[in-house]
Amino acid sequence: MCSDRSRVNISVDDARVKAKALYEARATGRPIPPFTDEQPALDMHDGYAIQRELVALLTAAGDTVVGYKAGLTSVPMQQMLGVGTPDYGPVLASTVYENGATTPGGAFIAPKVEAEIVFRLGTPLRGPGVTVAAAREAISEVMAGLEIVDSRIEDWRIRLADTVADLASNGAVVLGPPVELPDDCDVRLIGMAFSRNGELVATGAGAAALGDPAAVVAWLANVLGEHGVTLEAGQLIMTGALHAAVPMTPGDTFVAEFDRLGTVTLHMGDS
């Protein structure tokens, strides 16, 4: 959760004020206006400065970082926000659910769900200089995943700095059972069918995530390594959506069926 202070436009005090606003929005379920409404010059570096302060508040309150998520890993999403690179945020222990879980509807503000491939690392990775081949070697388990994305920003009116600050709009993740894939399995070609309440609503394949989900791991290791952060053994790496996010409403059931990885299911509770 580091940022380059030489490239940050806001002060430490301002970053802390904004992080506190996001922290309270998470606690109360009341969204806040976009930071970029009043400060349109805020950029990705400012977002990470705020994110760092928010993570400090969350971990001080007892949560722990158990991995990282990458967002904006598809070209259409990058184009939508006018960037040429993914973003990232922490995965918090309190937001990880088992397969088939019912998540409380009241825990989120404006949730959407997306299917993705999730890795668990068997050995540490520290960049810079991590190759895709090295990332593949470090992966010990692969899982089907459903990420709930949520925004503490009003009406999803996010620009890049807003979503980065807000933990890359991370809400929660539901994990399928871990799978050990053979060495010759190409995760780019793993297909997925996604349904809501029994109706097919999206399809995708691993290659939607930066061309190769393992490349997402290498990218994360290298970006974090520039700031002295190591991806540790046992950490989860969420590699990004394989399709456009689908809005959730109470009572919905979502199922993602993956080739080789099996099925992961999520129910959204009524409250």
The 10 Å CB-count burial string (b at 16+, else e) for 99-115 is bebebebebbbbbbbbb
Q: Measuring CA to CA, how many Å separate 52 from each of 3, 19, 56, 166, 231? A: 8, 8, 6, 10, 16
Size (the chain), residues: 271
Domains held by the chain: number: 1
Q: Residue 130: inside a domain, yes or no?
A: yes
Give residue 125's Cα distance to chain centre.
19
Q: Residue 247: inside a domain, yes or no?
A: yes
Q: Residue 251: inside a domain, yes or no?
A: yes
Q: Residue 78: inside a domain, yes or no?
A: yes
Q: How would DSSP label each residue in 70-110?
A: EE--SHHHHHHHT-SS-EEEEEEGGGEEETT-EE-GGG-SS
User: pLDDT in tens for each of the 271 residues of the chain?
Assistant: 444 555 778 999 999 999 999 999 999 999 999 999 999 999 999 999 999 999 999 999 999 999 999 988 877 667 766 777 889 999 999 999 999 999 987 889 999 999 999 999 999 999 999 999 999 999 999 999 999 999 999 999 999 999 999 999 999 999 999 998 888 899 999 999 999 999 999 999 999 999 999 999 999 999 999 888 999 999 999 999 999 899 999 999 999 999 999 999 999 998 6
* pLDDT of the residue at 75: 73
Q: Residue 23: inside a domain, yes or no?
A: no
Global pTM reads 0.93
Q: Residue 55: inside a domain, yes or no?
A: no
* pLDDT of the residue at 4: 52
Q: Residue 10: inside a domain, yes or no?
A: no
* pLDDT of the residue at 157: 94
Q: Residue 174: inside a domain, yes or no?
A: yes
The CATH number that applies at residue 226 is 3.90.850.10
Structural domain range at position 100: 64-268
